[in-house]
Chains A and B, each alone.
Chain A
Amino acid sequence: MKSILQKLKLNFTSPFWVTVIPFGWLLLFFLIPFLIVLKISLSDLKFGLPPYAPLIEWTSEGLLIIKINLTNYTFIGTDSLYLFAYLDSLAIALLGTIGCLCIGYPMAYGIAKASPSKRTILLMLIILPFWTSFLLRVYAWIGILSPQGYINTLLINLGLISSPLSLIDNTFATVLGIIYCYLPFMILPLYAFLEKIDHTLLEAAYDLGARPFQAFIRIIWPLSRPGVIAGSLLVFIPAVGEFVIPELLGGSQTLMIGKVIWNEFFTNRTWPVAAALAVIMLVFLILPIAIFQRYQEQQVRFLDAE
């Protein structure tokens, strides 16, 4: 019966274009651009606009010449600066993700345990910063951490230090900025899973003599694991390519790959190198993105939390 209805529905309500329009849009504006990035990463640098040479050329004799140029990749391979930028990006994103998890997990757990009326307010307070300007939230930390910032001013006035601590323009500030900006992305999927946990399971565990820590390790942690994975990837993947945070808080010594791509593109105008760097970053991220896609079906609703 159900299958018949479904078939009927398919005939009635699935006009071709309902799928084709959004699908076509994403193909044109999301998938094809990646292929172009790949193509340009294989082309020669050229002076002019656009600053790259065509990959496919018809010669005057009617010959089709396809030039595949791997020099952009070998160039990246020979300069250890790029390697360090990739490794630093992965390390910083990982530290940021761990930081978000350490702060976000207890918060999500606390929200899930609160009474329903309180829960609405607590959740809204998590979502609120997400709606306000990302850029301005990073900017706030400049005022807090800079040598003339609130922390240094306070410590100097209290007589605890005599010269300002260097809190900004380093890896520490970058990780802190990532934790701060991405915390809601960790808390929301975690909350979605923690909230669903059946309280009677815990009661049963306590009745059987489990201590709170045991109950947490054996019941709550395993049941919330999909949320942990989804939240971690939701932080980690965009953080690897982060530009604004390392640019404003990391100073010149923090070289994250997003910043390197930006500089190659805007400052050096070496588009093919920037494209090759993006392709390599995408290769690093394919596995995490694939895992995220597996989990996203389950956490599809976290954004609609309220």
Chain B
Amino acid sequence: MQNKLSPFLKTMMIFGYAFLYLPILTLIIFSFNSSRQVTVWQGFSTQWYTALLQDEALLKSLWISIQVATSAATLAVILGTLAAISLVRFGRFKGRGFFGILTTAPMIMPEVITGLSLLLLFVGLEQIIGWPHGRGILTITFAHTTLCMAYVTIIVRGRLADMDVSLEEAALDLGARPIKVFTAIILPIIFPALLSGWLLAFALSLDDLVIASFVAGPGSSTLPMVIFSSIRFGITPQINALATLIITTVAIGVMIAGWLMHRKK
């Protein structure tokens, strides 16, 4: 449906986009402020970026976050893809409805509940079977995998449902084994979905504060946990600089991805 936008709609659109982007813009502008006072402009400076690079605690937490996000995203893509294949391709098996609910529920569950329940699971498991020994990168990774696989399942499900089944059927009729069908036909077709699922999972993991706070142990503070504790003590231009770096990276990434997909079409 295409139509000329009414003045009301136009106003609302401008207002809405301004609402979404003005706060981000203020973050970026004041990251180049030379004053320690965040809200008063005193001149251009990149000192906060330099300070950022010398902040050891922050860099350490960034490294932990990257490790967690990489493994959680990879695990989530594997598990999410398997879940999506079961849901879309295996017809109506027993327990399918329940499985379907279980795959999307982590997406809307308040993070406080997910975090608390996973911590209690890890504590209970350690008491009973002695694993996981303490909490740290491993427990955060498992927690994030559970959260992220919901998103991956949804994305891959959408792609699988759009896919032409006759290709797979033809291959099966010609005697290809299921594994071959998966690697030769399904995988290349759903690859863009896997890639966007991986990236989304990575971003979600890198961003999560609440669940990580519950399941992290001593010495395994993630980037959001370090940011959070410094925000609690007030605003600092250094955090603005960090925000600017994150936003720029994401914006460039999304634009490249969008451009690549656009070109493919």
Contact = CB atoms under 8 A, between A and B. Distances in A.
Contact of B178 (A15, A241, A258): A15
A19 B90 contact: yes
A285 B1 contact: no
A304 interface: yes
Interface residues of B, dominant DSSP = helix
A87 B56 CA distance: 42
Contact of A5 (B37, B118, B169): B169
B218 interface: no
Interface in A17-38: 17-19, 21-23, 25-34, 36-37
Residue of A142, A198, A281 contacting most chain B CB atoms (<10 Å):
A142
Nearest to A111: B13
Interface stretch (A63-71, A76-84, A147-155): A147-155
B146 interface: yes
Contacts of B145: 25, 29
Interface in A273-291: 274-275, 278, 281-282, 285, 289
Contact of A36 (B27, B121, B246): B121
B172 A13 contact: yes
B210 interface: yes
Contacts of A73: none
B262 interface: yes
Interface string B248-261: 00110111001001
B12 A106 contact: yes
A36 to B, nearest CB: 5
Contacts of A23: 83, 86, 95, 99, 102
A104 B251 CA distance: 22
B181 A13 contact: yes
A36 B39 contact: no
Given A133-B243, A261-B112, A296-B104, A32 B121 contact: yes
A33 B117 contact: yes
B5 A25 contact: no
B16 interface: yes
B149 interface: yes
Contacts of B129: none
B79 to A, nearest CB: 5
A251 B2 CA distance: 45
B146 A25 contact: yes
Contact of B13 (A110, A124, A134, A275): A110
By secondary structure, the A interface counts as: helix
A106 B258 contact: no
Nearest to B166: A5
B82 interface: yes
B258 A13 contact: no
Contacts of A139: 27, 227, 231, 235, 239, 243
Interface of B: 1-3, 5-6, 8-10, 12-13, 15-17, 19-21, 23-24, 26-27, 30, 37-40, 79-80, 82-83, 85-86, 89-91, 93, 95, 99-106, 108-114, 116-118, 120-121, 123-124, 127, 142-143, 145-146, 149, 151, 153-155, 157-159, 161, 168-169, 172, 178, 181-182, 193, 196, 200, 203, 206-207, 209-210, 213-214, 224, 227-228, 231-232, 235, 239-240, 242-243, 246-247, 250-251, 253-255, 258, 261-262
Interface of A: 5-6, 8-10, 12-15, 17-19, 21-23, 25-34, 36-37, 40, 50, 103-104, 106-107, 109-115, 120, 124-129, 131-137, 139-144, 146, 148-150, 153, 180, 183, 195, 197-199, 202, 212, 233-234, 237-238, 240-244, 248, 258, 261-262, 265-266, 271, 274-275, 278, 281-282, 285, 289, 292-293, 296-297, 300-301, 303-304, 306
Given A23-B99, A134-B207, A304-B158, 19 more contacts: A9-B89, A19-B86, A19-B93, A33-B114, A33-B121, A37-B113, A103-B19, A106-B13, A111-B13, A131-B203, A132-B246, A140-B23, A140-B24, A140-B243, A242-B110, A278-B113, A296-B104, A303-B154, A304-B196
A-B pairs, top 4 by smallest CB distance, nearest first, are A241-B110, A33-B117, A106-B12, A22-B83
